[in-house]
Structure 1
Amino acid sequence: MSLQHRFPTLFEQPHAGEWLTEQESLRPANTVSAYGYALVDYFRYCAIHAITPASAKRAEVVAYVRDLSERSKSTTHALPGKRVGYVRSTTHEGFANATVRLRLTTVRLYYKYLKGTEVLATNPVEEGVYGWGKRYSKARRGWVARLEKEFWLPNARQWQAILDAASSECIRNRFMLALAYDAGLRRAELCALQIRDIDPSSQLIKLRPETTKTGVAREVPYSDVTAELFAAYLEHRQSLGQPTGPLFLSESRRNPRQPLTIWSWSKTVQALGKRAGLPMLTTHTLRHLRLTDLAKANWELPIIAAFAGHRSVATTMRYIHLSGRELTERYRQTLNSILDQRQETMKTSLL
Structure 2
Amino acid sequence: MAVDGHGDAVEFDAAIVAFLDQLANQRRASAHTLKAYRRELSALQQRADAHDGLAAISPDQLRTWLADAHRRGLAPRSVARRLAAWRSLFAWMVARRLIKANPAAGLRPPKAPRRLPQVLDVDEAQQLVEVEDDDSRGRRDRAMLELFYSSGLRLSELCGLHWRDVDLRDRLARVRGKGDKVRVVPIGGAACEALQRLAEDGCAPAQPVFTGRGGKAIAARTVQQRLRVLAQRQGVWKRVHPHLLRHSCASHLLESSGEIRAVQELLGHADIGTTQVYTHLDFQHLAKVYDGAHPRAKRRKD
The answer to whether the superposition gives a TM-score over 0.5 is yes
- Please provide the CA RMSD for this pair: 3.5
The equivalent position to 2:262 in structure 1, one of 282, 292, 303, is: 303
Q: Say yes or no: does 1:178 pair with 2:146.
A: yes
Sequence identity percentage: 19
The equivalent position to 2:120 in structure 1, one of 124, 131, 154, is: 154
Deviation at residue 230 of structure 1 after TM alignment: 1.0
1:32-70 residue CA offsets vs partner (Å, 9 max, x unmatched): 434311122124535776846756635367536754884
The letter for the 1-side match of 2:87 is R
CA distance in 2, matches of 1:64, 1:51: 17
Say whether the 8 Å CA contact 2:41–2:86 is kept in structure 1: no
The equivalent position to 2:282 in structure 1, one of 303, 308, 322, is: 322
Equivalent in the alignment of 1:236:
201
Equivalent in the alignment of 2:9:
none
CA distance in 1, matches of 2:198, 2:41: 43
Structure scoring higher RCO (CA < 8 A, sep ≥ 6) equals 2
The equivalent position to 1:187 in structure 2, one of 134, 142, 155, is: 155
Other structure's SS at 2:184 match: strand
Change (3 A) 1:18 1:329: same
Equivalent in the alignment of 2:188:
223
The letter for the 2-side match of 1:20 is L
More helix by share: 2
Q: Say yes or no: does 1:287 pair with 2:235.
A: no
The letter for the 2-side match of 1:261 is A
Equivalent in the alignment of 1:118:
97
Deviation at residue 153 of structure 1 after TM alignment: 1.4
The letter for the 2-side match of 1:115 is V
CA distance in 1, matches of 2:146, 2:90: 43
CA distance in 2, matches of 1:67, 1:36: 21
Say whether the 8 Å CA contact 2:120–2:245 is kept in structure 1: no
Say whether the 8 Å CA contact 2:20–2:38 is kept in structure 1: no
Equivalent in the alignment of 1:266:
224
Equivalent in the alignment of 1:63:
65
CA distance in 1, matches of 2:121, 2:114: 21
Deviation at residue 106 of structure 1 after TM alignment: 1.6
Say whether the 8 Å CA contact 1:182–1:223 is kept in structure 2: yes
The letter for the 2-side match of 1:235 is E
The letter for the 1-side match of 2:174 is K
CA distance in 1, matches of 2:90, 2:178: 23
Normalized against structure 2, the TM-score is what? Answer: 0.73
Q: Which runs of 5+ in 1 are unaligned?
A: 1-11, 72-93, 130-141, 331-351
CA distance in 2, matches of 1:177, 1:299: 24
CA distance in 1, matches of 2:220, 2:71: 25
